[in-house]
Amino acid sequence: METVYYVQDAVLPELTVTLYDEDGNATDLTGYTFTFSMLNVVDGTVKVDAASMTAVDLSNGKIKYVWADGDLDTPGEYYAEIVGTVNSKKEPIEELFRIIIRKKLN
């Protein structure tokens, strides 16, 4: 499970993801729409609930989530998931990954 690290109250960098097939090739995501969800590992609180993701380069498997104010305001460990929808059918596109938000120092 991949882990991504952020600092409390950050809004950058945006979460940019490239999705690959089982052979290691970038997946053509043309025709898909995507949502991003994130929940706290300890208490199960949903921090981001099926928010829309933005296409970066669908033919080369690249999408991104632009952090909204408040998304990264609570330090802790989170599970995150990207879900793709094509032809009205939802499919988990990526295994769960972790996001660690560390408390800012000042």
Under 8 Å CB-to-CB from 13, ≥6 apart: which residues? none
Q: Is the pTM of this model over 0.85?
A: yes
**In the structure, what pLDDT confidence band is assigned to residue 92 with cuts at 50, 70 and 90?**
low
- 91 pLDDT more than 80: no
- How many residues can be counted in the chain? 106
Q: How confident is the model at residue 87 (pLDDT cuts 50, 70, 90)?
A: confident
- Fold category of 3-102 in CATH: Immunoglobulin-like (2.60.40)
